[in-house]
Amino acid sequence: MVATDNFQMPQGQAPFDLSAYLQERQNLVEAALDSAIPVIYPEKIYEAMRYSLLAGGKRLRPILCLATCEMAGGTIAMAMPTACALEMIHTMSLIHDDLPAMDNDDYRRGKLTNHKVYGEDVAILAGDGLLAYAFEFVAVNTRNVPAERVLQAIARLGRVVGAAGLVGGQVVDLESEGQADVSIETLNFIHNHKTAALLEACVVCGGILAGIPEADLQRLSRYAQNIGLAFQIVDDILDITATQEELGKTAGKDLQAQKATYPSIWGIEESQRQAQKLIQAAVAELNLFGEKARPLIAIAHFITSRTH
Ligand code: GRG
């Protein structure tokens, strides 16, 4: 992932080198994901799982989890299994989202979608395999974290995957497709569940593993909800303004599928303004953490400046 510009911190502080930070974290996450899933018999399913998991992507979710754990006094090692699990969950949701029964996409992360390479049957199973393995991976591989924190993080993962999270958001998204009168409340429901909830789980799990107090967890949760919605608004804008090469998936898909989006309701300029407002609100939640919050602040600003 290449950050387009380095966010300037307030006067007197050296600029935070977000590009270098993201690159370093991304390398750590890539290595951990690569060694997480070996190819054994039956090879086909492990290859299909690895195909999508290792297809690139910004790795924003695991990086958020690691960054929050460190900010809250924990270590990268404490959070890495959960960070990998979050990327497994994210990847499986992309595989299922791309299926003909859902969004029916041919490209993802600059490559053919999982079902285009392995067939629909194996793609469904690859998603299921990644989802199940995510939970096993956290439970088996987390070290030097009290068991009750690990349990709390696992419960949080379960919640975000199910009807209270990704699945619930996807159902309302499917129901709303082709409808002319989708309200802003419905759109917010969809994206709070489909997109913001997983980003929130990344940040909150990072905090939980580090043993952060409940009041601070609430602040982190609000930070993440705000960046999550801003992330989706920018995603909707990029679907209109970016090319297929930049996105790594078919551009203009929302318009083609007659999907309600933030730009279709607010227009592009107002959508940009709303995204900025959410980022400001997110950053304000981090005041209490001082200098240690620099990575999370820079990531929040990156969300509105990203081009893919
Ligand atoms: C979780 C059981 C279960 C099923 C999945 C299909 C589905 C239910 C939910 C859809 C979730 C979905 C695809 C939301 C879109 C989120 C989003 C904005 C994805 C793009 O994220 P980026 O830009 O992608 O971070 P990269 O490739 O960089 O990781």
Task: List the CATH number of the domain containing 247.
Answer: 1.10.600.10
Ligand 1 pocket mutation pick from 90, 125, 157 by most atoms within 8 angstroms of CB: 90
Q: Is residue 213 part of a domain?
A: yes
Asked whether residue 14 is assigned to any structural domain, the reply reads: no
pLDDT of res. 10: 55
Residue 256 clears pLDDT 90, i.e. is over it? no
Determine, yes or no, domain membership for 40.
Answer: yes
Taking only the tens place, the pLDDT of each residue in 257-266 is: 788 999 999 9
Residue 12: per-residue pLDDT: 64
Contacts 24+ apart (CB under 8 A), 133-136: 133/36, 133/37, 133/49, 133/88, 134/84, 134/85, 134/86, 134/88, 134/89, 134/92, 135/85
**Residue list, ligand 1 pocket, CB within 6 Å:** 57-58, 60, 93-94, 96-97, 102, 109, 131, 161, 166-167, 170, 194-195, 232, 235
144 CA to centre of ligand 1 in angstroms: 30
Among 25, 52, 96, name the best residue to mutate to test ligand 1's pocket (greatest count of ligand atoms within 8 A of Cβ).
96
- Residue 140 forms part of a structural domain: yes
Full residue range of the structural domain in which residue 210 is found: 19-305
Q: pLDDT for 149-185, tens place per residue?
A: 999 999 999 999 999 999 999 999 999 998 889 999 9
pTM of the model: 0.94
Range of lowest pLDDT (55-59, 226-230, 281-285, 304-308): 304-308
Structural domain contains residue 107: yes
pLDDT for residue 134 is more than 50: yes
For residue 7, the model assigns a pLDDT of 46
Element (H, E) at 156: helix 147-161
Domain count, the chain: 1
Round to whole Å and give the CA distance between 82 and 114.
24
Q: Which residues pair with 112 in a beta bridge?
A: 107
15 C-alpha to center of ligand 1: Å?
31
**Residue range 274-291: mean pLDDT, rounded:** 96
Most confident of 98-107, 240-249, 255-264: 98-107
* Of 235, 155, 160, residue with least CA distance to 198: 160
Beta strands in 252-303 (DSSP E): none
